[in-house]
Amino acid sequence: RRNLRVLLSTHNPALMDALPDAALGDVVFCYRDPQAGDSRLIRLGDMYDYPSLISQGPLGQLVTAGVVDRFVKSPHTPDERKQQALAWLSRWQEYGE
């Protein structure tokens, strides 16, 4: 058995959609950092909200719709999401009073 590694670069949504589910976590996404302006690489499986991202649909469709780009450019830890939700709920309760 050979330990073969393959590097594939594509913008083709159909090819991304054809990736097996087991390979999605190893996909490396390249994007431009909004603050620094430089290019960054991130392994999708290393993102805090990877399960939330990948549950939204096939990878090619998510890339085409800009969903992956939004996820990597504004990552939120579970604690940050909780704080955002609590702040939203607090504002909603104040509005109702």
Domain containing 34 equals 13-96
- Report residue 97's pLDDT band, with 50, 70 and 90 as the boundaries: confident
Q: Kindly state whether residue 19 falls inside one of the protein's structural domains.
A: yes
Report how many domains make up the chain. 1
What token pair was written down for 26? Answer: 């190893």
The pTM of the full predicted model, rounded to 2 decimals, is 0.71
User: pLDDT tens for residues 38-92?
Assistant: 999 999 999 888 998 999 999 999 999 999 998 888 777 778 888 888 999 998 8
Q: Kindly state whether residue 29 falls inside one of the protein's structural domains.
A: yes
Q: How far apart are alpha carbons 80 and 72 in whole angstroms?
A: 15
Q: Kindly state whether residue 5 falls inside one of the protein's structural domains.
A: no
Q: Which residue has the higher pLDDT, 72 or 6?
A: 72
Q: Kindly state whether residue 23 falls inside one of the protein's structural domains.
A: yes
